[in-house]
């Protein structure tokens, strides 16, 4: 992750960041937004919040509300990679009467990804950089949505190189500044805003020329840290995660999972179909063209991740893998398997990896994790007393160590020892002390909640 010098951190965001770091119960009135798309609003308009003093990006901030559910269960937790400011308008992805004019509207803004690395502002990699159609028209063409899906399927030629363009959604509240070239909003039926698209440039020829042009004219360059950008501001991280997951899925799924023939990207990049003909000639039959049609949608892999507290509530169970940095621990996690509930997956994974037996399990929050397509389902569980708390690593070789950590020690680590793998420890860290993942990881949020007593009583 990019580390920013403190001089570039805007002080006006420091209070907000402090709030989110602690409890995610921020109630700043400036974050109110009635739009469903902006329910998880980022910290500001046009230029969302810069990185915190710890160089850890801010988190999405929920608007204040006082529902019965919040009264009973406490405030919802919004995790990093959630909180996109856009209205996805998923029902319009098949409507080319909407997509075609949206694509060529002067306000239309495009995020480019090169081998999954996003285009960012050259002097501030916490901000995505958007371009106009004019910047890329010679490569992407005048309008990829001009023809209807029916026409594209009918004209399918498996030898054509595919242009992957994903419709992100519309920015109805002007949260983002787009490509900065048009004040005019795009209107369609009752919807009005700036349309956003993501474009995969990985296979474009003469990319160096494009890069030089973007650098000069847009002050934008592809994120140099590779395809796992974890330093974007809240909201924009969600947009990047969405674009990344869909572009990756389209690029890695060129063939039909049912019959093995080439597929075609439709629904503005969110579905792939197995056309019945290729260059006008009939292809082998395929079940996805009939009733079994669910093979052609992007996958999301559910993963359970859990903070397990001891039976008396004084300790939390953490584990570490051999390849992790010294003293660096995290919550246990594993893939959700078919035929089990989330609660059962939590109990199974914890027992398999650590030998600890878990009783009651409560869902906490979830996090999209686009590396490549996981959904982290966060839970808090309580170990059974006595023998139930006994650690045994003999079932599964995944963990090098699992331990019960007293909450005081964990609290200290949350304050002084959180960082991404591959990063240096914070200045306050004392060698030999526990290290934990940063707040961009749901593991950190789960551990933080346990330390705060989230699992004991709901809070308002
Ligand atoms: Zn097929």
Q: Hey, where are the domains in the chain?
A: 9-299, 301-452
> Ligand 1 is a single-atom ion; what residues have CB below 5 A from it?
256, 258-259, 274, 286, 288
Question: Ligand 1 center to residue 257 CA distance, Å?
Answer: 7
Of 193, 13, 18, 197, residue with least CA distance to 119: 197
Query: In this structure, are residues 168 and 239 in contact, taking their beta carbons and an 8 Å threshold?
Result: yes
Q: Which helix (H) or strand (E) holds 304?
A: strand 301-309
Task: Count the Cβ atoms, other than its own, within 10 Å of residue 332.
Answer: 25
Question: Ligand 1 center to residue 330 CA distance, Å?
Answer: 41
Task: Count the Cβ atoms, other than its own, within 10 Å of residue 398.
Answer: 17
Q: Is 199 helix (H, G, I), strand (E, B) or coil?
A: strand
Q: Give, as one character, the DSSP assignment of residue 45.
A: S
Question: Ligand 1 center to residue 304 CA distance, Å?
Answer: 32
Asked whether the bond before 447 is cis by omega within 30 degrees of 0, the reply is no
Write out the chain's pLDDT in tens, 460 residues: 333 323 222 222 222 232 333 222 232 323 323 334 434 444 333 344 333 334 678 899 898 888 999 998 888 999 999 999 999 999 999 999 999 999 999 999 999 999 999 999 999 999 999 999 999 999 999 889 999 999 999 999 999 989 999 999 999 998 999 998 888 999 999 999 999 999 999 999 999 999 999 999 999 999 999 899 999 999 999 999 999 999 999 999 999 999 999 999 999 999 999 999 999 999 999 998 887 676 789 999 999 999 999 999 999 999 999 999 999 999 999 999 999 999 999 999 999 999 999 999 999 999 999 999 999 999 999 999 999 999 999 999 999 999 999 999 999 999 999 998 888 899 999 999 999 999 999 999 999 999 999 878 655 4
- At residue 178, the pLDDT reads 92
Question: Ligand 1 center to residue 246 CA distance, Å?
Answer: 20
Question: Ligand 1 center to residue 256 CA distance, Å?
Answer: 5
> Any bridge partners for residue 46, and if so which?
176
Question: Ligand 1 center to residue 244 CA distance, Å?
Answer: 25
Of 447, 430, 450, residue with least CA distance to 438: 447
- At residue 9, the pLDDT reads 28
Question: Ligand 1 center to residue 255 CA distance, Å?
Answer: 8
Question: Ligand 1 center to residue 243 CA distance, Å?
Answer: 25
- At residue 4, the pLDDT reads 30
Query: In this structure, are residues 116 and 63 in contact, taking their beta carbons and an 8 Å threshold?
Result: no
Question: Ligand 1 center to residue 299 CA distance, Å?
Answer: 17
CA dihedral 240, 244, 245, 248 (to 10 degrees): 180
Query: In this structure, are residues 85 and 176 in contact, taking their beta carbons and an 8 Å threshold?
Result: yes
Query: In this structure, are residues 81 and 238 in contact, taking their beta carbons and an 8 Å threshold?
Result: yes
- At residue 22, the pLDDT reads 28
- At residue 457, the pLDDT reads 62
Q: What is the CATH number of domain 301-452?
A: 3.90.79.10
For residue 146, what are its two tokens?
């001009």
Q: Is 369 helix (H, G, I), strand (E, B) or coil?
A: strand
CA distance 234 to 237: 6
Of 246, 409, 241, 192, residue with least CA distance to 316: 409
pTM of the model: 0.86
- Rounded to 5 degrees, what are φ and ψ at 201? -105, 5
Query: In this structure, are residues 204 and 139 in contact, taking their beta carbons and an 8 Å threshold?
Result: yes
Rounded (to 5) percent helix, strand, coil in the chain:
25, 25, 50
CA distance 119 to 51: 18
Question: Ligand 1 center to residue 162 CA distance, Å?
Answer: 17
Q: Give, as one character, the DSSP assignment of residue 398.
A: T
Question: Ligand 1 center to residue 369 CA distance, Å?
Answer: 28
Question: Ligand 1 center to residue 446 CA distance, Å?
Answer: 42
For residue 384, what are its two tokens?
């059974």
63, with CB counted inside 10 A (0-12, 13-18, 19+), is middle
Question: Ligand 1 center to residue 384 CA distance, Å?
Answer: 49
- At residue 29, the pLDDT reads 29
Question: Ligand 1 center to residue 291 CA distance, Å?
Answer: 12
For residue 100, what are its two tokens?
């075609």
- At residue 426, the pLDDT reads 93
- At residue 458, the pLDDT reads 53
Query: In this structure, are residues 276 and 282 in contact, taking their beta carbons and an 8 Å threshold?
Result: yes
Dihedral sign, CA of 176, 227, 365, 25?
Answer: negative
> Any bridge partners for residue 114, and if so which?
117
């Amino acid at each position: 992750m990019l580390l920013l010098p403190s001089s570039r951190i805007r002080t006006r965001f420091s209070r907000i960041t402090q709030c989110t770091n602690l409890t995610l119960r921020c109630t700043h009135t400036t974050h109110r937004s009635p739009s469903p798309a902006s329910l998880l609003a980022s910290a500001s308009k046009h230029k969302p919040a810069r990185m915190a003093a710890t160089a850890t990006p801010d988190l999405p901030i929920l608007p204040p509300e006082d529902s019965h559910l919040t009264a009973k269960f406490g405030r919802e937790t919004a995790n990093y990679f959630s909180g996109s400011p856009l209205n996805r308008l998923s029902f319009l992805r098949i409507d080319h009467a909407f997509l075609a004019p949206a694509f060529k509207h002067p306000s239309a803004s495009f995020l480019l990804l090169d081998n999954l690395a996003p285009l960012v502002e050259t002097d501030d990699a916490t901000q995505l950089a958007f371009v106009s159609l004019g910047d890329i028209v010679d490569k992407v063409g005048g309008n990829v949505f001009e023809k209807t899906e029916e026409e594209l399927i009918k004209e399918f030629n498996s030898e054509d190189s595919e242009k992957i363009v994903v419709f992100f959604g519309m920015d109805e509240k002007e949260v983002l500044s787009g490509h900065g070239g048009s004040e005019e909003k795009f209107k369609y039926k009752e919807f009005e805003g700036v349309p956003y698209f993501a474009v995969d440039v990985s296979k474009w020829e003469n990319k160096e020329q494009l890069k030089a042009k973007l650098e000069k004219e847009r002050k934008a360059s592809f994120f140099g840290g590779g395809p796992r950008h974890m330093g974007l501001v809240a909201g924009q991280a969600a947009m990047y995660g969405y674009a990344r997951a869909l572009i990756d899925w389209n690029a890695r799924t060129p063939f039909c999972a049912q019959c093995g023939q080439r597929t075609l990207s439709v629904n503005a990049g969110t579905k792939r179909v197995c056309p019945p003909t290729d260059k006008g000639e009939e292809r082998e039959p395929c079940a996805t063209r009939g009733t079994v049609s669910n093979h052609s949608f992007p996958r999301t892999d559910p993963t359970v991740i859990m903070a397990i507290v001891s039976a008396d509530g004084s300790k939390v169970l953490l584990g570490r893998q051999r390849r992790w940095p010294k003293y660096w621990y995290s919550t246990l996690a594993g893939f959700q398997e078919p035929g089990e509930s989330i609660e059962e997956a939590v109990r199974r994974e914890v027992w398999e990896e650590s030998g600890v037996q878990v009783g009651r399990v409560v869902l906490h929050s979830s996090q999209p994790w686009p590396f490549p397509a996981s959904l982290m389902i966060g839970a808090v569980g309580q170990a059974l007393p006595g023998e139930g708390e006994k650690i045994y690593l003999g079932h599964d070789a995944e963990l090098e160590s699992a331990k019960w950590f007293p909450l005081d020690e964990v609290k200290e680590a949350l304050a002084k020892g959180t960082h991404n793998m591959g990063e240096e420890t914070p200045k306050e860290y004392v060698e030999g002390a526990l290290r934990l993942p940063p707040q961009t990881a749901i593991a950190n949020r789960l551990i933080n909640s346990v330390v705060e007593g989230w699992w004991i009583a709901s809070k308002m």
